[in-house]
């Protein structure tokens, strides 16, 4: 079945540590996205990528980094510079949207990150 796989489901970070969240899709989608969800708040966009080897900052990119070396993969690194990383992280993908438009986003099941 086609879909988006996020791993791990739960992740714990120590002080000063970088951690990487995995997102893989087999939907042949061009665009991929990372969101952060905090209790009582809407999803906020961290980074997005419309094509391999290219990505743009979203609304809350500080303390995060990404790469897009393959179409299927869009890993997110939460760096030690992110002082409040505890949240639910969601990855999504869609068909190409460089021209804007009407392609639905499909989501993975999320990774819950906590601080030790």
Partner 1 sequence: KQEVTQIPAALSVPEGENLVLNCSFTDSAIYNLQWFRQDPGKGLTSLLLIQSSQREQTSGRLNASLDKSSGRSTLYIAASQPGDSATYLCAPQDFQKLVFGTGTRLLVSP
Q: Which residues bind partner 1 (CB under 8 A)?
A: 4, 6, 31, 35, 40-45, 48, 50, 58, 90, 92, 97-98, 100-102, 104-110, 112
In this complex, which beta carbon is closest to partner 1, that of residue 19 or of residue 34? 34
In this complex, which beta carbon is closest to partner 1, that of residue 80 or of residue 105? 105
Residues β-bridged to residue 19: 78
In this complex, which beta carbon is closest to partner 1, that of residue 80 or of residue 103? 103
Q: Round to whole Å and give the CA distance between 84 and 81.
A: 9
What are the DSSP calls for 60-113, one per residue? T-TTEEE--SBTTB--EEE-TT-S---EEEEEEEES--TT------EE---EEE
Minimum separation from the CB atom of position 116 to partner 1 (A):
20
Minimum separation from the CB atom of position 48 to partner 1 (A):
7
Q: Could you say which DSSP state residue 53 is in?
A: T
Q: Could you say which DSSP state residue 15 is in?
A: T
In this complex, which beta carbon is closest to partner 1, that of residue 13 or of residue 106? 106
């Amino acid at each position: 079945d086609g879909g988006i796989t996020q791993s791990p489901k739960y992740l714990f970070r120590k002080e000063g540590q970088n951690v990487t969240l995995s997102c893989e899709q087999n939907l042949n989608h061009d665009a991929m996205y990372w969101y952060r969800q905090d209790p009582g708040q809407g999803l906020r966009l961290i980074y997005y990528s419309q094509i391999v080897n290219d990505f743009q900052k979203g609304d809350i990119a500080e303390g995060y980094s990404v790469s897009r070396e393959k179409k299927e993969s869009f890993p997110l690194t939460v760096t030690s510079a992110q002082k409040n990383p505890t949240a639910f992280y969601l990855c999504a993908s869609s068909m190409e949207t460089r021209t804007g438009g009407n392609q639905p986003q499909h989501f993975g099941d999320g990774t819950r990150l906590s601080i030790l």
